[in-house]
Structure 1
Amino acid sequence: MIINSYKVLLVFLAFAIFGCSHEHTENKEETTSSISVTQYNNSTELFMEYPQLITGTEAKFLIHLTDLKDFKAVIQGTLAIELVNQFGNKITANEDKPARAGIYIPVIKFDSPGNYTMTMTLSGSQVSDKIIVKDVIVYSSAAEVPKSEEEKSSLISFLKEQQWKIDFATEPVAKRKLRSSVPATGEIISKPEYYSKVVSPVAGIILPKNNPNFPNLGSFVKKGTVLLNISPSADASSNIQKIKSDYLLAKSEYERVQNLFDRKAAAQKRLDESKFDFESKQASYNSLIDQIKFTENGYAIVSPIDGYIENISANLGSQITSGQELVTIINPSRLILRANVPASKFEYANNSKDASFKIEGYKKELRISELNGRKISVSSSLNLENRTVPVYFEFSNPQNKIKVGMYAEVFVKVGDSQESVSIPESAIIDEDGMHTVYVEVEGEAFEKRILKTGIADSGYIQVLEGLKEGERVVTKGAYQVRLAALSPESAIGQGHVH
């Protein structure tokens, strides 16, 4: 919680530039001592302003409430207020709704001095929260009020009404585990066993009457599902029979030579040759059997894997030749990231077990280890065109959102994780080559800081100098805060009543 006492200088000209609708008196240089409180709670941010509190005098509280889900104004909900001092004296107030979006303005009169604890209970469909503010001091007379401190002149004013109108957010400076990385370019490719180009094992024709369920692009098929039926040409059956006969003959010959070899009646070379011939013809036959079923509609071509139909190279009524490509099927549930690591950095990447990457259309930086992934291999050769070595990572594809062929910005992790003070990279603005952030000093006051930064990892960057743990930096809307600092005319208009 941040509590400040300061002098509010009412300068009409400056506020007119901002389009301010504050309530003012006729005295252009009137000063009034005020208290401000900034506090982050479970679901809301509180920014509260009120005058020095004196018994017997009504005091107007400006209670700004921000919904931390989206950093927008709380626009509905009741606010029950209870103040209790150390002597047990209690005061209550209730506000049925905000006076304006995000702002409750209760007027409270204190009968007894003391140190009060203020409890605010917000109840609404948008957000609910319990807010406790300590050290609300009420004085017996104006003479007891301590002298106010001068407001820090270097602070940048950026009101809650300005923040609520834009995409705005803050985040605390915190320690996180970060790892160094080697940057690389990359591409998403399919796993070989999750990719299949289905070809026709026979020549024939795709008759419309025999293919009422002709496949559709993008449709999902299970392994063994009939993709299409081919009515064979006259010599198709004899070709299939020949493949089967060749397989059976090679099998018989291999078994015969194996028997001779066992009786030392055949040489090792002859056994190896017969084994190679058998395994080759067995593979051809098994491939044929896996791909087709014999039905009354001809030869049914089936899917060899689970996956989505990526391409269809044949049409109803078309003539098909043996070996012609028919359908391409991809299963995107597991994919491969190929990272092209510069040869000069290869030694570091070679020992890496993890990587993160950014892809087109995806704001979040993804991490291999968090996607049930792992490094699977490193190429044994160098790409001479760009002097890189491919490193391959396998990972699960959440909701199949990542597409084969996407380009990636890759960060191959090296070394051990180290706990470091860090902030989101989105908080940083490059100003003349310097890493700059805007720190929320209190609810409507910000301070520019120039940082010395270190390693970056998964959307966060190490802070070596310029920030302390627990401070809050602007992660969304920092550019608008910068505009408010550089040029009041560029800032978004103000609108609350003081």
Structure 2
Amino acid sequence: MQTFSAPFAGDFKRRAALIAVLAAAGLIAAGCGGNTDGPRPVQDDHGHEHGHAHDHGAEEAKTGRITVYGIRHWLYIEHPFVLAKHPSPFTTHVTDLKTSEPRREGPITLRLHGDSGEPLEVLAKAPTRPGIYIPDLLFPNPGTWRVSVLIPSEDGAEEVPLPDITVFSSDQEIAKAPEVGEPSGTSFLLEQQWKIPFKTEPVRKEEGAILIPESAVVPKEGQSIAYVQVSGETFAERQLRIARREDGKVWVETGLYEGDRVVTRGADAIVLAPLEEHAHGEEDAVEMDPKIREAIGLTSELAIEGALQVTLDLYGWVRPRPQDRVDIHSPIPGVVRKVHKWPGERVESGDPLLTLDVPEWLQWQRDVLHVYHERERVTDLKTYAEGEGRAAVAKLLGEIRVAAAEADKLRRETELLAEAGAGAVSRREIETKRGELSVAEATLEAKRLQALSWGFSEDDLKAFVAGLALSESARKVLPPEVSTSIRQSEFDLEEAVHHSLFSEANLLAWGFLKESLERLRKGDTTAIETVLVLKSPRSGVLMDVDVTEQEAITDEQRLLQLVDYSKVHVEVEVSESEIKAVVNRKADAFPVHVPGLGDQILEGRFVYFDTSIHPDVRKAHLVIELDNPDGKLLRDGMAVTVAVPLERRSGVLHVPKKAVLSDGFEKVVFVDEGEHFHRTVVRTGLETLARTEVLSGLSPGDKVVVEGNRALLLAVSAPKEGAADHGHSH
């Protein structure tokens, strides 16, 4: 919502109370009659009676008024009905649309285009008063003339065409010419508009309704109203029916029309304009009813004599703390399916930011599931392989025992045959038996060597052949191919576990729930998440979104930037001549004024002071830290003023800084004397962010107005009733 500068920056309730009180007191000027419900053109032909440069008889002179908007300037012109061959003063008010201020210097040229010949040009070299030129125009012939105003500026000359001007041939024609009544509404002079931040804008249509800024809406007696400019200094009140409000915008169903120009800044001042009628007594004093005082929130504080902290006021800019700026990158390639948050939105930790289709996201989950299935496979394999291995070991040991028994038997038989001698058995029989013994021993040796290669010891084999029980280690022996198979499966499982740990870490890092991960570890396939939802790692404001929906992203591509503004830094520029004062400061707490937050003073904390000078600006940086009100009011790049605490002065008379106003070349305050408020000129000295030293004009204990004083200044300085030209001092 657009805000108003003091005195018209009260909150919505205060404004409502003000308008209700003024309406009840009859202080809002009534219109001059006529219907204000329909649209009214900004240009108006003729209206108020006005002093005239030539005599039209006994009647007061008829006056024309023109309001016209250009690109850079807008004009309000007052002139008498024009008589050919007689000079007519065209009082021309020129306002800069960029600054809403009067044109203070430079010429303007009025070009007069008749039916034939070259246009006539009249040069007004400079304004007679800020914003007001009064050239005399001499039209040589009666008829319809086209007039334009040429206004040079630094952006180039702008030519603003006026509505056609009727030039009469005689006073009798002027007397017979119809006179259009004044547009109804509240009068608010340009001299008043120029004193305050004041702006009008054309309404526009959107979604079937008129769209205006929130600042254009003024509450009154429970209703919402807006002020429409019906001429340069007249504003009609329109009652609005509002469809909706959103982000500082208001959609209006009825009460406004395309082509209307509404007051978007300074609408409260139009309500306060009637206060000039209630400035009584001395020229520099205002008498105000207590109800009005309460309605506009007028408050006072005492002028105090005491100690005042001397400060070195330096300019700086708000910056996010480096540790609070987070860039979120893509973990792996994929495609953006949905963008949940956009730049400027505040997010909390855990809020979804992006939904991604990422093949590797599924692969990480498959890796976790694979460990579960691999562990089951290895368990089954070991059970089966160990069983097969035990059977092979038992078979080998059995064969060894059989071979050993066979060899012993053949050895005894051979020995018996040898003892019997050649006479008892044939030599051939003995040799045959010896051959059988050799084969049996060779078979036994082969089995023994095989058992030794499997891991049995000689002692284990001897004990087994002797019929003794195997040792503990011998009972664990398996065939090499079985052991190798088991070791390979265990290695595969270990590799899968390590791979899964890496995948689990990635899953957890990108927001996969621990509960879902535990379910995956147990083989629960329903825990699989098909898309990756990137969630905010912390609270903050989303600054950048670098991707759009359906966009393919690459590995390590930056997707978003998040900044936590709960605490911010202020970078203060310190010139070389100011370094000593900053180094010798009296404290590490710094009052900070942020113009965007009004009169609020924040307290900053010292972080560090540069030890080097930045060569491009020849300044060092002092960095302080601030708590951000509401976590969002301070924004990157906002300008601030930082008060570096130096000495303390005692015996200083001082008042709140906002009590002192500039009125032309004078500094003034309003002294509160109950029902009267006196404009008092003061001479000021030392200024801090919140207080101003008063050297003369006040005494300790004087009550000065700190809120509502601009309304008093407007009331005191407004043109008084009876001034020429309806309040203008041309």
TM, length-normalised to structure 1: 0.50
Structure with the higher helix share, 1 or 2:
2
Relative contact order, higher structure (CA 8 A, sep 6+): 1
Larger radius of gyration, structure 1 or 2? 2
Higher strand fraction: Structure 1 or Structure 2?
Answer: 1
